[in-house]
Amino acid sequence: MNEAKYVIVNGSGIIFSAAIQHKDMVGYNEKCEGAGFVRFAVEKDSYGDDIIVAKCYGKSISLDIESRPEKDSKILTRQITNPF
């Protein structure tokens, strides 16, 4: 997956296909806090192990909401790397 879309709803991230509009992933009366595009990279952690890191950017046109690159990237990275 080279590029995907994401939304942050109620503090949780949803990652989905770039073929789907952002607005279709947010339910009625749900608060979308951030939205845009995400790419994934492999980086080394402090122990020298490879970890997957989300890199968020851009904007959702259908929701008219900006990405919050640093905050959204942390949320998505934590969700995909935390087994609990």
Kindly list the distances between the CA atom of residue 29 and the CA atoms of 14, 16, 49, 70, in Å, as whole numbers in the listed order.
16, 20, 41, 26
CA 10 to chain CA centroid, Å, is: 13
Query: What is the C-alpha separation between 7 and 12, in angstroms, rounded?
Result: 8
Provide mean pLDDT across the span 7-21: 95
**How many domains does the chain divide into?**
1
CA 15 to chain CA centroid, Å, is: 6
The SS3 of residue 69 is helix
What is the length of the chain? 84
As to burial, measured by CB atoms within 10 angstroms (0-12 exposed, 13-18 middle, 19+ buried), residue 8 is buried
Which residue segment(s) compose the domain that 72 sits in? 4-81
Predicted confidence band of residue 82 (pLDDT cuts 50, 70, 90): confident
Q: Return the pLDDT at 84.
A: 58
Supply the pTM of this predicted model: 0.88
Residue pair 30/41 in contact by the 8 Å Cβ criterion? no
